[in-house]
Each structure stands twice: as structure tokens, then as C-alpha cells.
Amino acid sequence: MSWWLLHVDLDQFIAAVEVLRRPELRGRPVVVGGDGDPGRARQVVATASYEARAFGVRSGMPLQVAARRCPEAVFLASDPPAYQAASARVMATLATFPVRLQVYGWDEAFLGADTEDPVALAVDVRRAVLDATGLSCAIGVGDNKLTAKHAARFAKPGGIHQLTRATWMAAMGAKPAGELWGVGPKTVKRLTALGLRTVADLAGASPELLAEHFGKRAGTWLALSARGAGDTSVDTEPWVARSRSRETTFVEDLTDRDAIAGHVAALARELGAGVVADGRRVTHVAVKVRFASFHTPTKAMKLRGDPTTDLDEIERAARTVLAKFDLQRPVRLVGVRTDLAMD
């Protein structure tokens, strides 16, 4: 018996839930986002079915752009409670297996299992999820979370793939470094400047070079990830949100600082009220501003003293953070995030 990690990744989850509710949409391009009206400005795609993705529709794209790329798409309003309920059914199904279960979001989970045949286990899991929920999933089998995560990408849609450290470099070495789980665009830009373009390049980089440019801790993590090393633990504790956020997109760009501040203050109080109602406390407050150019900086501050439930303090912090922005350009969107105490 060996310890294996399975990464369960539901296929086109939100779109799939909508198709289950509307079987007549099966096989058609489906786009979910906002209130489902692509004629309204400033609404974005939450998810798109594979059929819609074939036309270039992607998450985060304005609904109006999606409608131009795929005029025959069916546009639907987002319904988070339905997706939460569907996710709960999936996770309850996974919990029936003799595994350690770590819920990793609405549509993802890691399973840890001592087994002689992890692929056979994956086959059983995939069948059980489909039978119990009607939802398809891809399953990656690996000897750690990183290999399992990437294996699931190879398995999409609806398949099973096994990837281990022994087979890692053959599968991943030639791929761009930016395809590594957790490596974002800013890191890619810095890696490219160093001539480290592929996973193999990064795996072969000297520890001294990576430590110099990324710090010892991040540099070590980058090198280990590029070599297929990852965490093998599975945290079975119930998932608890570490932060919460709200944002609003304006129908027309705002230039009046007082109006912008009023929206930020309202978001902060609304967000804080929900946090307090759930018995949580706030430690940090962050504000995001998206300008008309789509440049979207975020600034944050730590609250003084102990974590708080004081809505006035949360609002004051949000206003203080907003004051750090240069608001000379038109503003398209503002958002507020609160980081929460974990006790």
C-alpha cells in the first residue's frame, strides 16, 4: 500500500450545474455571469461551457465581448446558492470513500489514500460523482498535490491521468514556467528576464540565482515545484474562509472622489456586517480600484490592536486605504476585502 493523492476537478462546474437544470442546453454554448443580460455594460463572464470556450469566451471577459464572439450563446444569470448546493452534494459523495478529504473550493478537492491501485480508486470516484450528482469530473493521480493537480489538467475533460515525480520532467519539462501551479504573470516576467522560460529551465537554475532574485524561501519553492516536488498532506479540517470581499462596477466611470469614497465606505460596512454576523473578526482591510484603463491596483493595511468587529473602524480603515490612491483618472470599479482572524 502506498500513499497517493487524487485531485478531483469538476468539469465546467457552474455551466454544468446550469445545464443539469436546463437539459435542453446540453451541447449548446452557455455563458454564465452577472444578471445574464449581455446588453448591459460592465458585467463579466463567471464561466463558459466548453462549447462557448471554443469561440474564445473566457472567464472575466465582459459579457458584451462574449456576445460578439459567440452570438448564439445562451446567457444565464449567476446563481451562487445553486452552485454551493451542487458542490455540497459532490463533497458528500467524496466523503463516502475511505480517504482523507480536503475540500479545495466549490469544484475541487484533494483525496489522500493508502491504496495499491489509485487509478482504480479514481475510476470509482468519478463514477460515484456522476451517478450521485450528474456532474462530470477529471481526476489527477499523483504522489503529491502538485503532481496530482497537474495530472488533473491533463485529464480534462472527464478523464483520469497519473503523473509522478518520476514522470514529471518528461511531461512538464518543455512547458512554459507559467503553467506551474502557483506561478503567476509577475513571476513569469521576472523568470523570463533571467532566461528561465520553461519548467526545465527553472528546475536547472542555481539556488543562488533564485534566492538572489526571489528570496530564499520563494526561490526554494520555485525550484522544488519545477522538479515536481509538492506537499503530500491532506488537511481534513472544514474549510474556513480567510478573507471576504465585495466589489461594485459602476454603470458609468466615476471621477468624484467623495462619490468613490461613499461606495467604498458602503462596501466596507456591508462586508463587515456579514463578517460580524458570522462571528468572525477583521484583521486587515484592503481596497481595490479598477481605473478606466483596466489598471487594477490593490492596497491594504493592518488594523491596529486586536482583530475587530467594529463597523466604524472597518469603514475608517477602508477610507484610509482609499486615500493612498491617486484618483485623478476615471474609476470603473471599487472593491473591499477584509482578512479575518482564524481563531
The CATH class given to the 173-226 domain equals mainly alpha
Q: Does domain 1-171 have CATH number 3.30.70.270?
A: yes
Contact call for residues 220 and 210 (beta carbons, < 8 A): yes
List phi, psi (to 5°) of 97.
-90, 155
> Residue 108 catalytic?
yes
Q: What's the pLDDT at 105?
A: 86
CA angle 56, 62, 64 (to 5 degrees): 85
d(CA 330, CA 291): 6
Q: Are 164 and 230 in contact (CB under 8 A)?
A: no
Cα 147 to Cα 58: distance, rounded to the nearest angstrom: 25
Tell me which residues of the chain have a pLDDT lower than 70.
239
SS3 of 132, please? Answer: helix
Domain-by-domain residue ranges, the chain? 1-171, 173-226, 243-340
Grid coordinates standing for 294? Answer: 483596466
Alpha-carbon span 103 to 276, nearest angstrom: 24
d(CA 138, CA 156): 5
CB 110 within 8 A of CB 13: no
Q: Residue 327 — φ and ψ, nearest 5°?
A: -100, 40
Say which residues have a Cβ less than 8 Å from residue 31's Cβ, sequence separation at least 6: 38, 45, 47, 48, 49, 52, 57, 63, 66, 70, 73, 74, 75, 76
Q: State the pairing for strand pair 100-103/108-115.
A: antiparallel
* Domains 1-171 and 243-340 equal at CATH topology level: no
What CATH fold (topology level) applies to the domain 243-340?
Answer: Dna Ligase; domain 1 (3.30.1490)
Measured CA to CA in angstroms, residue 64 lies from 24, 43, 159, 291 at distances of 24, 8, 33, 19
Catalytic residue among 18, 51, 108, 315: 108
Helix (H) or strand (E) holding 26: none
pTM listed for this prediction? 0.79
Identify the burial level of 336 via C-beta atoms within 10 angstroms of its C-beta, where 0-12 means exposed, 13-18 middle and 19 or more buried. Answer: buried
* pLDDT the model gives residue 211: 94
- The reported pLDDT for the residue numbered 343 is 73
Residues in the chain: 343
**Which residues, 6 or more positions from 293, have their beta carbon under 8 angstroms from its beta carbon?**
329
**What per-residue confidence (pLDDT) applies to 170?**
97
